[in-house]
Structure 1
Amino acid sequence: MTMSALAIAAQVRDGSRTAASFLEETIARIEARDGDFNAFTELTLARARRDAADIDARRARGETLPPLAGVPFAVKNLFDIDQVVTTAGAKVNQGNPPADADAVLVARLKDAGAVLLGALNMDEHAYGFTTENTHYGAAHNPHDLTRIAGGSSGGSGAAVAGGLVPITLGSDTNGSIRVPASLCGVFGLKPTFGRLSRRGSFPFVGSLDHLGCFAGNVADLAAAYDAMQGPDPADHACAQRPAEAVSATVANGLKAGARVAVLGGYFHDWANAPAREAVRLAAEALGATTVVELPGAEQARAAAFIITGAEGGALHRQRLLTHYADYEPASRDRLVAGTLIPANWVVQAQRIRQKFYEEASRLLQDYDVLIAPATPVAATTIGAEWVTINGQKLPCRASMGLLTQPISCIGLPVCTAPLWPGIGEDPHLPLGVQLISGAWREADALAAARTLELAGISAVRDV
């Protein structure tokens, strides 16, 4: 595992290492190892060297350096990078003009001193859970190169798990941060819908898209999240709330008396034994002895599918008519089908979504954190078409989102923490848990993850 982001920044600030030396170390590591992982689709080395040199020059002038000074990071390739084409994993976008500015979150991390290394592999247009990209090739799980890294932010999860960079950015519409975090064994944060600006990112489903981050420990995750917070009037979905820094408040874990429960019912039934064991381990460490149900989860997942299909199809309809052959086979038929969804289905899906949100909000008045598995199974082999969950044979790609879709449908914040249940057919593979908190209460989810980290049961393992 690479050095933590905060340790890098501390050494750059105190002068014991330069940002340039950390950068060259990172470049060498990517060149040596990413051939196995296929996490990067674009390297921005000239820019990175300029940014690192600027950090070192600022220190030489005696300036106070920002909190992430010299920290290497990379972003899912649906984030705009100045002077780079934002492909969103798609051939059809390769002829687009380069972005003329960084995405807001990329710019905020740069302002915090972080050094961008490039763009990361993903499912085309973020429509998938496995990052088996036809154009760029599959992202490989660093813990077993025959396995998927999850999706659609698979490159982001693999880059952290493989020790290439300490922080990455991703997006989560139906589970695309939480699934790779679970399968790659890293920490991932999907904030409340509207918490972080989406300006400068390629959209998928406007009413469901979230942006967030991955890291190798909770402190780094919280620091990246803090650096990206703040209102953005130019993003209509971004809540105009002041930043609420969490780094200091989550450092010691959950406060005494925190109310934690396990989600049963749907979230138990659609998880195999290793995923249930991960939940049991987390519950034991967090002192959660109560099992509760969240009615309507199955219906909420169906609603998410309908909303995703309708909005995604509408977004791509015109280009599907003119460039159908350029779209990835794994997603283009679903996008076409989405254009045919009746309007009354979408209206009903939104009603179900609202009802499920109200159910979850009532439950989260009684509990600070809810625990659920993040994925029903560990990482499957690349190319697998089917997966068996509790005796039922199901399509592999769609089923990886069984447990994440209901939660992102209603926009609640979730921190995925990596665990290692060590049972079943794949004891060498990680499985994450979702730590779900109420809207705008990211600190509770992160504090729960920190408690698991302090207990020694949640950690990123070297590869």
Structure 2
Amino acid sequence: MTPAELLLKDAAAMAQAVRSGAVSAVALVQASLERVAATDARVNAFTDVVRERALRRARQVDASLASEHGVRTRELPLLGVPFAVKNLFDIAGLPTLAGSKIEREREPARGDATLVRRLESAGAVLVGALNMDEYAYGFTTENSHVGATHNPHDLERIAGGSSGGSGAAVAAGQVPLALGSDTNGSIRVPASLNGVFGLKPTFGRLPRTGSYPFVSSLDHLGPFARTARDLALAYDAMQGPERLAPRDPGCAQRPVEPLLTSLSRGVQGLRIGVLGGWFRERALPEALAAVDAVAVALGAVRTVELPMVEAGRAAAFLITNAEGAALHLHDLRTRAQDFEPLSRDRFLAGALLPAAWVARAQRVRRLYAQQAARVFERFDILLAAATPCAATPIGAEWIELNGQRLPLRANMGVLTQPISCIGLPVCAVPVWGAHASLPIGVQVIGAPWREDLVLRVAAALESAGVVQAPVARLG
């Protein structure tokens, strides 16, 4: 198998090929760089490619394999695997863009983000930074500064957002792994629309040190991949509290809890429910069909309501507006013209919110989380669509949901925002209908800290052939 052919497989297969000597890390990384060069003019997933750094790191991997430390190096789970990160992660020597024009003018990062360092410590090789909505405030990655990211399965359609470049790069076969962030759905929406797996861990599970914040009390970081096993490999490599200064104050001080070995345990005995009400009413038939297919495969026949979901989403809107705006007040005052118009206007609205409203939103959020915890006394896993529809055309402005004509950009996250508001772990799994030309994702939702269960379900669905993440045919 050539390096280019191997690049279209999963990360586990790539690492094993490097481990066995069937391919060198340099050859694999070179194949990734060549695929980016050949396809990204159409996809526009990357904003920066760190070619020299990537090849230097790959040579180090190969040299270590050939040295007296080779036995230890072979144990690395992501040996030689190329990966890329949303451009809000610090990469030494590059300005951390967060999708903006303004940040391009800032000083370059002095070091890598914690999760970048952890993946490279597991043997992976960083190849570049990925496109996103400005300051992570959006669900479409139609970035006016660098252009829209295109969905690899249909280049006329959106890749979702705000981690659209991350989802598209994995779907396009440019890299097998990518990192993104999720505040209101920004991992799960692109995973759904690009037909890949995406993991939003429990709030506080992974350290955010070295990433550009959007809403500190809601921000999560997590991986994209083409298999559940690859998600688990990346997730296990990134776990654990930050021990170096500066630290992420929102990171839980929980020990590493590896879950790779639990993937094969299946779903027997798990209590699985299908979310109704809000989650059915705001999903189009194609999304409901995806949820129903997953529910049938899992034998899930019980429908459950999540109390206070509408109030929870409203609280998330207010918190997002207010906290997000607070980070950008100086630039809003001095260079508002350099923001994207949509994100600028939303930040300005957030800056004007009364403090009493934000305080009340946090109280509603706590009550909503308590109500959700009671649901998880009866269920281990909940299912819901990840997006209300499949990928829409680039430039589309409206969507009709529940009899209402609504702005598309705000409502592509209508089903994800109520879940991230209370920090629950979720794996978005890609479903392809019998005659569908585009994928749509289903959220597999667990109780706090039960990433093991959501990935067990994802792996079981993948083994049964219900979900899959094929590489897009880009030619």
TM-score range with shorter-chain normalisation? over 0.9
Deviation at 1:252, TM superposition (A): 4.2
CA contact (8 A) 1:422 1:429 kept: no
Q: Within the alignment, does 1:164 sit opposite 2:174 as a pair?
A: yes
Among 287, 293, 297, which residue is 2:299 paired with?
Answer: 287
Among 49, 54, 63, which residue is 2:55 paired with?
Answer: 49
Superposed CA offset, 1:142-175 (max 9, x none): 1110100000000000000111100000000000
Moved over 3 A (4+): none
Tell me the residue number matched to 1:67.
77
Instruction: State TM-score, norm by structure 2.
Output: 0.95
Tell me the residue number matched to 1:30.
36
Once the two structures are superposed, the pairs formed by residues 351-362 of structure 1 within 5 Å of their partners are: 351-362=363-374
Tell me the residue number matched to 1:365.
377
RMSD of Structure 2 on Structure 1 (CA):
1.0
Instruction: State TM-score, norm by structure 1.
Output: 0.98
SS in 2 for 1:164: coil
Letter in 1 for 2:111: A
Q: Within the alignment, does 1:236 sit opposite 2:245 as a pair?
A: no
Tell me the residue number matched to 2:23.
17
Tell me the residue number matched to 2:317.
305
Q: Within the alignment, does 1:219 sit opposite 2:247 as a pair?
A: no
Deviation at 1:16, TM superposition (A): 1.4
Unmatched segments (≥5 aa) in structure 1: none
Deviation at 1:359, TM superposition (A): 1.0
Superposed CA offset, 1:248-289 (max 9, x none): 1013432x2111010001101110101000010000111101
Tell me the residue number matched to 1:136.
146
CA contact (8 A) 1:377 1:389 kept: no
Tell me the residue number matched to 2:4.
none
* Distance in structure 1 (CA, Å) of the matches to 2:47 and 2:130: 5
* Distance in structure 2 (CA, Å) of the matches to 1:252 and 1:460: 21
Tell me the residue number matched to 2:348.
336
Deviation at 1:44, TM superposition (A): 0.3
SS in 2 for 1:365: coil
Once the two structures are superposed, the pairs formed by residues 55-454 of structure 1 within 5 Å of their partners are: 55-62=61-68, 63=70, 64-65=72-73, 66-233=76-243, 234-254=247-267, 256-422=268-434, 427-454=436-463
* Distance in structure 2 (CA, Å) of the matches to 1:290 and 1:408: 23
Tell me the residue number matched to 2:465.
456
* Distance in structure 2 (CA, Å) of the matches to 1:152 and 1:251: 32
CA contact (8 A) 1:160 1:215 kept: yes
* Distance in structure 2 (CA, Å) of the matches to 1:462 and 1:102: 29
Deviation at 1:389, TM superposition (A): 2.0
SS in 2 for 1:366: coil
CA contact (8 A) 1:219 1:251 kept: no
CA contact (8 A) 1:74 1:168 kept: yes
Unmatched segments (≥5 aa) in structure 2: 1-6
CA contact (8 A) 1:188 1:415 kept: yes
* Distance in structure 2 (CA, Å) of the matches to 1:462 and 1:328: 31
Count residues with an aligned counterpart: 459
User: Which is further off, 163-172 or 25-34?
Assistant: 25-34
Deviation at 1:49, TM superposition (A): 0.5
